[in-house]
Amino acid sequence: MRIIEVSDYKQMSVKAAQHVIGKIMKSDCLTLGLATGGTPTGLYGELIEDHHVNGTSYKCVNSINLDEYIGLSKEDPNSYFQYMCSNLFSHIDIALENTHIPSGMATDLQKECDRYEKLIEETGGIDLQILGIGENGHIGFNEPGTSFQSGTHLVELTESTREANARYFSSIDEVPRQAITMGISTIMKSREILLLVSGKSKQDAMKKLLENEVTESFPASILRNHPNVTIIADKDALTMVQHLHR
Ligand code: GLP
């Protein structure tokens, strides 16, 4: 794992954007794996600005999102579909038909998981997966205890994840209890992974990720076994890490 330490959230977002834009420029047809949450919004903002200023085009980019809540329609302001539209898709020239997010409203949820996993394979796999990390080490919505062999699947969200995400909803009761997420094995098949980490609330997770063993009780630890991971983390997130070569 390569670790890039930056001063703050803004620098993390700028560095991440440079990395993503570099890949888009070098590739004829890039498949980007996208994440939601507070962490990547700065990155998306930088991509939008670059699109307006430098004209970087997304006409040949496919996107595949990590996850979606169960029970929220595409129109729901808290759905990850709406998040992606308002934070990125509506402001760049990506074709909406080339963007993919699991459907949280599918009548047969297992079928939707299978469809999504197959879709990822059929698009040729993910070239660059953007990831954030939950305070408990979750990636996507793969909560502690998720099998490292898991493909796209249905999950019960932990209370700590529901509480962490309640800030986007009017009350915690409105936070869905289930989601569809790419599995750990799905994420690990990505050819490259870019993990973004910012803030003191993630310092414990960063310490566990960099210093503890690989274990299903801390899902992100599997990234240590991936051949091409870059972590861009700010100083606050790295506060507790002992042996970083600074
Ligand atoms: C959410 C998302 C993850 C995200 C994580 C951290 O539950 N499903 O993809 O990485 O939590 O969120 P944040 O970036 O807001 O800290």
- For the stretch 202-240, pLDDT in tens is 999 999 999 999 999 999 999 999 999 999 999 999 999
Separation CA 43–CA 50 (nearest Å):
11
In a domain, 105, yes or no: yes
pLDDT in tens, 53-80: 999 999 999 999 999 999 999 999 999 9
For residue 199, which atom of ligand 1 is closest to its CA?
A: 16
Q: Tell me what pLDDT residue 245 has.
A: 55
Total structural domains within the chain: 1
Q: What is the pLDDT of residues 21-51, one digit of tens each?
A: 999 999 989 999 999 999 999 999 999 999 9
239 domain-assigned:
no
Domain presence at residue 164: yes
- CA of residue 37 to ligand 1 center, whole Å: 4
Q: CATH code at 56?
A: 3.40.50.1360
How far apart (Å, rounded) are the C-alpha atoms in residues 200 and 110? 37
Percent of the residues in the chain that have a pLDDT greater than 90, as a whole number: 96
Question: How many angstroms does the Cα of residue 33 sit away from the middle of ligand 1?
Answer: 14
Residues 6+ apart with CB under 8 A from 231: 1, 2, 3, 4, 195, 196, 197
Q: Is residue 245 part of a domain?
A: no
Indicate yes or no: pTM above 0.85: yes
Is there an atom of ligand 1 within 6 Å of 35 CB? yes
Q: Helix, strand, coil: what percent of the chain each, to 5?
A: 40, 20, 40
Q: How confident is the model at residue 242, as a pLDDT?
A: 80
Residue with the bigger pLDDT between 245 and 114: it is 114
Nearest CA to ligand 1 atom 10: 132
Ligand 1 binding pocket includes 117 (Cβ within 6 Å): no
Residue 99 domain-assigned (yes or no): yes
Residue whose CB lies within 8 A of the most ligand 1 atoms, among 84, 165, 178, for a mutation test: 165
DSSP H/E element including 85: helix 80-87
- Is 141 touching ligand 1 by the criterion CB < 6 Å? yes
Q: Is the pLDDT of residue 246 over 70?
A: no
Cβ–ligand 1 contact at 134 (below 6 Å):
yes
Mean pLDDT of 134-158: 96
For residue 246, is it within any domain?
no
For residue 53, what are the domain limits? 2-198+212-234
Q: Taking all residues of the chain, what is their mean pLDDT, rounded to a whole number?
A: 96
Residue 100 lies in a domain: yes
Active-site residue set: 67, 136, 138, 143
Q: For residue 203, is it within any domain?
A: no
Is ligand 1 within 6 A of the CB of residue 13? Answer: no
